[in-house]
Structure 1
Amino acid sequence: MTTAPLWRGRALAVIGILLCAFSLRTAVASLSPVTELIAADFPLTSAVLGFIGTLPPACFVVFGLLTPVLEHRMGLERTTLVALVAITAGLGLRGFVGESTGLVLATALVFAGVGMGNILMPPLVKKHFPDRIGLMMTLYTTAMALATFVPPLVAVPLADAAGWRFSLTLWAAFAVAGIIPWIVMLSRRTPAPEPVQDAWDAEGPSAEQAAASDPADFTATGPIGTPTANRSLFVRLARIPLVWALSLTFGTSATMAYVAFAWLPAIMVDVAGVDAATAGLMLSVFAFVGLPSSLLIPVLVVRFQATRPLFLVGALGGAAGIAGLLTLPVSGLVWVWVVLFGLVGVLFPLSLVLISIRSRTHESAVLLSSFVQSAGYVMAAIFPVLFGVLHDATGGWTVPLIVLAALLIAAIPTGMMAGRRRTVEDEWERRHGAW
């Protein structure tokens, strides 16, 4: 079987997905580098900064749960448009605030849009590119990786040249650009193309299973997409071990990222004895390690069914980096440990690909994405706080780092379960009968 060219009839979807993905990360990464410059204009207390730090996972959980409801009412593309409008408005307002309350409210609006966009990306790929899931996941996770480390590199120079307000507001331009393709697509009111799929082109069921697994229009509680059916399917997801395996896999990835961005510079200063500038550079190296992962992992999973080996690379590599920091934190080796720890970046694109290919339809992908990411971000919201509490209670970083490494090792069985080549619908039907 053949696949349709990526751009044939889908150029706007490609552009819209990539610009949306880019905006999801620039919205998050553009604020923290300029907080000191903002504080020179109006007070930013530690409590305010701490609250802003808790906004991303909190908003991601809340709006991750609300997104399926909004998607049912408005459709996938319109909900994406709403998310981008919220991001644009929040980014624009951040550049005009005059006090900390306004900054918090504008930032909350940004993260509300990001929380929606996080859920919508895998279903958008599944709906518009069922024959090119690997390629599109590579493109959009790479866009997210670029948007993670580019803003910290240019935010301060931009602020020095034109002020922190310009530095913050600039990123709204990408969200505005991302709005345009979706408006054009919606104005045309044409159905999305349905290219022929190359034996699912994914690490999923066989061609025979795929042929027997066309999207069902109804559940026992009514048409798919209605609130009643969505609630029923959400409850069903909670009863499927594969869904919890995916949730813990995603949660482990998010936890490692949030812990690193919150604590890695301080750990480097205290454990490795480097200065603050070097510690910041090490954090950039940690983030940069994830870029090759974004390029390679979707293809390795989709084409070569490499979920389990990749999860082991991320989990064991990260644990080895932590072990190195604990046992040999000498200047010549500390960069090696940071790179090894950065291998946990493998888990993020891996988790996103699995959300797309562990569901049969884009409708069920919306619900699965909502469940997995909301559960994962609860874990990511709690663990960095727990990490700090352990540090304060023990007076050092040894116990928190041991717990972090233990989490990676403990997540290995869930990664192996997530590697099973079954959809959540398959798992339900195997255990309980018709989906």
Structure 2
Amino acid sequence: MRKQGKILIIGIILFAGVMRTPIGMVSPLLSSIQHSLGVPAGLLGSITTIPLLCFAFFSPFVPQLGRKYGNELVMFLAVLILAVGNYFRVFSTAWLLGGTMLIGLSIAVLNVLMPVTIAQKYPQRVGVMTSLYTFSMTLFSALASGQSVVMAQRFGWQKAMQSISLLALIGMVFWLPALKGMHRAKAGKKGGSSVWKARGAWYLSLFMGLQSLLFYTTLTWVPSILVAHGLSQGEASQLFGLMQLASLVPSYVVPILAYRFKRVRGIILTMTVSFLAGIGLLMVPTASFGLTVVIVIVLGAASNIAFSLTMALFSLKTSTPEQTGDISGMAQAVGYVLAAIGPVSFGYLQHITGSWTLPLSILLVVIIVLTFFGLAVDQRETIFDD
């Protein structure tokens, strides 16, 4: 591999590293942020919701930006905006909200264009590079979530959060080789069918959406459920970190397996069984630490099997990088609408029923529907097949 290609791989790793950390790092620091900036309690939830809404409403427009100005340049500028928004959001409540919006728009660009860029730059190694990308994103997020409180205690929460901007700027340096070989769409009428009219594209978009709903719902509420079962907040926090670490292996292995075998029925059924087991066991009101370790490991693995498979399917079920960009934009628009409403609806159901049983039972139904859409996608060579 040429030297420029090796440098760009580091850029991909570092860009992937800032695709979850600006959001995941916030949750453990919410009390410090509220105390320091005087953020009203009602606005705290928006710090997580704003990026999801940005993903949902901005993602469909990202492929056009990439085609017009070049995917690599658009991603480079997105990371610059992310670095600026993240750096300044620690100074006031207004900057916190504005900076979070800039971060959300920037990550929307990266979410859509990273699979496209990998397909363009590494057409013979898409599976391996997708694995590296999803693994890096998961690893950096887990490390940031787990170490954010320690960093805040040592350096202050502001510097802890601003460290993500430094990571982004370093990533931009290693991304420079990509700007020398930018991909832009050729002038003329775009060929092919509209992705929004393809039944297979809707199946994949709903698969993306339901797995996002499951991921963000469990990410939001599992610690509270564990505390309700009798575990201490410290134990729940440790197990929450374990749940994220459990997702590392699937994040690397799943895309490679998907590209090797092409048909992913086995991966989908493994995901289904893992989700059903994890959610089903979570419904058991036990304070057993050993059983809870099993639950969070299974749930963490299931969530990342679903996510990593979705990222692989964007390229696996399309014929050109342009199609990959279109389905990536569509699926993430649909997906993050569901992701935004999932945790809120789950919490509301728990509030009105006073129990976790009904919300968790609904998630079991969601898992079955998720499986149906996954198998429907797997039956098609591409998402444009009838």
Provide the residue aligned with 1:116 in structure 2: 109
The question of whether the paired residues in 1 share the 8 Å contact of 2:72 and 2:182 is answered with: no
Among 248, 271, 275, the residue aligned to 1:318: 275
The question of whether the paired residues in 2 share the 8 Å contact of 1:125 and 1:133 is answered with: yes
Structure 1 gap segments, 5+ residues each: 193-215
Deviations along 1:81-140, one digit per CA (max 9) or x if unpaired, are 121111111111124x1x212211111111110111101111011000110011101111
Among 238, 256, 270, the residue aligned to 1:281: 238
Structure 2 gap segments, 5+ residues each: none
Shift of 1:53: 2.1
Shift of 1:191: 6.3
Q: SS at 1:24's partner residue?
A: coil
Superposed counterparts of 1:25-424, under 5 Å = 25-95=20-90, 97=91, 99-186=92-179, 189-190=180-181, 222-224=188-190, 233=193, 236-270=194-228, 272-305=229-262, 307-327=264-284, 329-331=286-288, 332-342=290-300, 343-424=302-383
Number of residue pairs matched by the alignment:
383
Determine the C-alpha separation between the residues in 2 that align with 1:9 and 1:37: 42
Choose 1 or 2 for highest CA Rg: 1
Q: SS at 1:423's partner residue?
A: coil
The question of whether the paired residues in 1 share the 8 Å contact of 2:271 and 2:305 is answered with: yes
State the one-letter code of the partner of 1:157.
V
Deviations along 1:369-403, one digit per CA (max 9) or x if unpaired, are 00011111111111111111111121110000000
User: TM-score normalised to the size of structure 2?
Assistant: 0.93
Shift of 1:339: 2.1
Determine the C-alpha separation between the residues in 2 that align with 1:390 and 1:295: 35
Runs of at least 4 residues of structure 1 off by over 4 A?
none
Identical counterparts, % of pairs: 29
Shift of 1:256: 1.5
The question of whether the paired residues in 1 share the 8 Å contact of 2:262 and 2:316 is answered with: no
Distance 1:319 1:116, change over 3 A: same
Q: SS at 2:145's partner residue?
A: helix
Deviations along 1:22-81, one digit per CA (max 9) or x if unpaired, are 111222222222222223322122211011121121011122122123213211111111
Shift of 1:17: 1.6
Determine the C-alpha separation between the residues in 2 that align with 1:401 and 1:108: 31
Shift of 1:259: 0.5
User: TM-score normalised to the size of structure 1?
Assistant: 0.83
Distance 1:316 1:164, change over 3 A: same
State the one-letter code of the partner of 1:125.
I
Among 19, 23, 31, the residue aligned to 2:18: 23
Q: SS at 1:294's partner residue?
A: helix
Q: SS at 1:10's partner residue?
A: helix
Shift of 1:421: 4.9
Distance 1:273 1:241, change over 3 A: same
Shift of 1:359: 1.3
Shift of 1:15: 2.2
Determine the C-alpha separation between the residues in 2 that align with 1:385 and 1:328: 22
Deviations along 1:163-194, one digit per CA (max 9) or x if unpaired, are 111101111111111212333442xx4467xx
Q: SS at 1:131's partner residue?
A: coil
Distance 1:126 1:324, change over 3 A: same
State the one-letter code of the partner of 2:306.
L
Measured on the aligned residues, the alpha-carbon RMSD in Å equals 2.0
The question of whether the paired residues in 2 share the 8 Å contact of 1:16 and 1:179 is answered with: yes
The question of whether the paired residues in 1 share the 8 Å contact of 2:207 and 2:370 is answered with: yes
Q: SS at 2:319's partner residue?
A: coil
State the one-letter code of the partner of 1:276.
Q
The question of whether the paired residues in 2 share the 8 Å contact of 1:12 and 1:185 is answered with: no
